Amino acid sequence: MKQFLIFTITWIASNLAIPFWVVGHVHLTMNIYEDIYEIISSFWLNILVAIGFWIEWKNNIKQTRL
């Protein structure tokens, strides 16, 4: 189960990072956040993508040392 969770996080980070950040930044420049749910969801999606990048970076370090 742990491996599946790691795979899911890295897949989300790999496939949604650029679209999420591009759309998110455009959205931030055009809207004013007044809803706490939008702020919380945006925060956790950014954290999820950052964790995925960190996991992929650690895997890349392991592979290059072999």
For 30, the token pair is: 């055009």
| pLDDT attached to residue 21 | 67
Nearest CA-CA partner of 21 in 29, 32, 11, 10: 29
* Residue 2 pLDDT level (bands cut at 50, 70, 90): confident
Per-residue pLDDT reduced to its tens digit, 8-59: 888 888 887 777 666 666 666 666 666 777 777 777 878 888 888 889 888 8
The per-residue pLDDT for 26 is: 62
Give the global pTM: 0.64
- Say what the pLDDT of residue 49 is: 83
